[in-house]
């Protein structure tokens, strides 16, 4: 409950696709990509209704307390080749625990990439997942009814508060067709099954082939996206897939166009910076009366909401900034930042609110109902303040767009023309 609430609070748009594919009356191994460390595990826990068990690197289990705590959280340690073996952790015992979990009809989660890096590229999959699945079926004569289910995780901006996340569940697959090959040559069969796992994961992912392609896809996405693509994670993922598919087709059939696409991209980015216009507004239709009315309504809202914004800032800003400063110091790896933000927030915000309540009680002596209303208002006003700041920024972008229409219309039209040309070349419209 706490994890689900935290995810919904941290990410503005949380989409779960094809959840019905998780329904199975036997044991399940869930495989997923791993771009965002602990947040990935939390997301899968949020997606799955049944209790789940996780395989995790043994370095997390470096003390008795950690072993006890992580064990209570259904985590199973595994010594990876890339890490030094953790004392007291036996891979044989861990594999045995996995077989027992599956034989009891439970769900096991494995991230077969083995490491967590915030990128679209699906890294090499380790064959351990395939070995566990095949060995579990082998021990039960191929009658375990085990399913391996892929889940693709896509984050618009993994570490950013109020960004978006989408989990796409794929159809489950049986592994029994590989059992005969596993009896003959365990290593070769595991590699073949791992290759199939990769195919299934790629179907539920927004994935790229290499770093160069990822950079190009990301840059084109930020140029071509609309407001809907930025705010709705599913639409954003579809646009990224469309861009990636178009690039691959050009690289295969029309490689000469790649240079033209890159040149147009560089030109548009330069024009955007020069005009200081957000991508969402480049191709936005302009209706003067409606636009002026929207800006007027925005200014009224900002004026009326200012007192509540100030209330939220006074009670939440210091804690917000403390967490913002602490997270990079605790870990320099971006993929840990979202989880650290949530963990620190679960501790520091309640302490802050208790402090404010004690301060009010000391000076004002309010009744119990007043304290309850005040306590409820603290987190709500904090969320409002964050939303207010975003709305204020958005209103400024609207005013900037209006200024360009009336004062630099030719430059804006040139930018719009280049964007249309880019879309035409990229998508062959």
Contact partners, residue 388, CB within 8 Å, separation at least 6? 302, 305, 308, 309, 312
pLDDT(79) > 90: no
pLDDT of residue 294: 82
Q: Quote the CA–CA distance of 284 and 141 in Å, as a whole number.
A: 62
What pTM did the predictor assign? Answer: 0.92
**Where would I find the H helices in 48-81?**
64-72
How far apart, in Å, are the Cα atoms of 237 and each of 197, 206, 386, 409? 21, 7, 25, 32
Query: Quick one: pLDDT at residue 246?
Result: 96
Q: How confident is the model at residue 286, as a pLDDT?
A: 76
Pick the residue with more confidence: 401 or 200? 200
In this structure, what token pair is assigned to residue 232? 């709705």
Token code pair at residue 71: 């064990």
Going by C-alpha positions, the residue among 377, 373, 326 that lies closest to residue 347 is: 326
Cα–Cα dist 327/291, whole Å: 40
Residue 228 has pLDDT above 90, yes or no: no
Structure tokens at 427: 């998508």
Mean pLDDT of 1-18: 93
Angstrom distance (rounded) from CA 342 to CA 162:
12
Rounded Cα distance between 222 and 225, Å, is: 6
What mean pLDDT comes out for the span 46-67? 89
Residue 382, classed as helix, strand or coil, is helix
Average pLDDT over residues 306-335: 96
Question: Under a CB-based contact definition with an 8 Å cutoff, are residues 134 and 187 in contact?
Answer: no
Asked if 311 and 377 count as a contact pair (C-beta separation under 8 A), the reply is: yes
φ, ψ of residue 253 in degrees (nearest 5)? -105, -35
Which tokens go with 324? 């913002």
Distance CA 190, CA 195 (A): 9
For residues 380-396, average pLDDT:
94
Q: Rounded distance, CA 43 to CA 28, Å? A: 17
Round the average pLDDT of the chain to a whole number and report it: 93
pLDDT in tens, 124-173: 999 999 999 999 999 999 999 999 999 999 999 988 999 999 999 999 99
Q: Computed over its alpha carbons, how large is the radius of gyration of the chain?
A: 26
pLDDT over 90 for what percent of the chain?
80
**Three-point CA angle 391, 393, 398, nearest 5°:** 90
Structure confidence at residue 120 (pLDDT): 94
Best CA proximity match to 93, nearest among 82, 105, 77, 109: 77
Q: How far apart are CA 173 and CA 55, in angstroms?
A: 20
What token pair was written down for 392? Answer: 């204020």
User: pLDDT class for 310, splitting at 50, 70, 90?
Assistant: very high
Q: Are 183 and 139 in contact (CB under 8 A)?
A: no
User: What is the average pLDDT across 401-411?
Assistant: 92
Band of pLDDT at residue 250, cut at 50, 70 and 90: very high
Q: What is the mean pLDDT of residues 248-258?
A: 93
At residue 67, the pLDDT reads: 86
Region 322-337 average pLDDT: 95
308 alpha-carbon distance from chain centroid: 30
Is the pLDDT score of 429 beyond 70?
A: no
Render 8-29 in DSSP notation, one character per residue: HHH-SEEEEE-GGGG--SS-EE
How many other β-carbons are positioned within 10 Å of the β-carbon of residue 210? Answer: 9
């Amino acid at each position: 409950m706490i994890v689900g609430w935290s995810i919904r609070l941290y990410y503005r748009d949380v989409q779960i696709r094809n959840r019905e594919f998780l329904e199975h009356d036997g044991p399940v191994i869930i495989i997923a990509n791993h771009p965002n460390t602990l947040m990935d595990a939390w997301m899968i826990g949020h997606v799955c209704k049944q209790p789940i068990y996780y395989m995790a690197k043994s370095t997390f289990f470096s003390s008795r307390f950690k072993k006890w705590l992580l064990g209570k959280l259904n985590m199973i340690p595994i010594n990876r080749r890339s890490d030094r073996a953790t004392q007291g952790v036996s891979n044989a015992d861990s594999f045995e625990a996995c077989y027992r979990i599956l034989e009891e009809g439970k769900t096991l989660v494995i991230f077969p990439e083995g490491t967590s890096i915030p990128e679209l590229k699906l890294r090499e999959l380790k064959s351990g997942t395939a070995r566990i699945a095949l060995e579990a079926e082998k021990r039960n004569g191929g009658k375990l009814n085990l399913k391996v289910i892929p889940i693709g995780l896509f984050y618009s901006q993994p570490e950013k508060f109020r960004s978006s996340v989408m989990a796409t569940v794929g159809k489950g697959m049986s592994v029994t067709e590989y059992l005969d090959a596993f009896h003959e040559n365990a290593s070769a069969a595991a590699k073949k099954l791992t290759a199939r796992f990769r195919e299934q994961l790629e179907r539920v992912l927004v994935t790229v082939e290499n770093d160069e392609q990822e950079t190009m896809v990301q840059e084109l996405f930020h140029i071509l996206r609309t407001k809907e693509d930025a705010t709705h994670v599913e639409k954003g993922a579809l646009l990224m897939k469309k861009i990636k598919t178009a690039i691959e087709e050009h690289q295969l059939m029309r490689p000469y166009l790649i240079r033209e696409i890159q040149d147009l991209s560089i030109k548009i980015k330069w024009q955007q910076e020069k005009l200081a216009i957000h991508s969402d507004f480049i191709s936005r239709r302009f209706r003067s009366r409606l636009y002026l009315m929207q800006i007027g309504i925005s200014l009224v809202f900002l004026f009326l909401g200012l007192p509540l914004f100030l209330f939220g800032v006074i009670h939440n800003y210091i804690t917000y900034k403390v967490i913002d400063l602490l997270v990079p110091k605790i870990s320099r790896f971006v993929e840990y930042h979202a989880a650290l933000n949530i963990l620190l927030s679960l501790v520091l915000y309640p302490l802050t609110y208790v402090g404010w309540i004690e301060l009010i009680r000391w000076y004002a002596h309010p009744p119990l109902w007043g304290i309850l209303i005040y306590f409820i208002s603290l987190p709500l006003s904090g969320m409002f303040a964050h939303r207010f700041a975003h709305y204020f920024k958005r209103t400024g972008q609207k005013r900037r767009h209006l200024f360009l229409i009336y004062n630099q219309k030719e430059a804006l039209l040139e930018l719009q023309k280049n964007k249309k040309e880019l879309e035409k070349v990229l998508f062959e419209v």
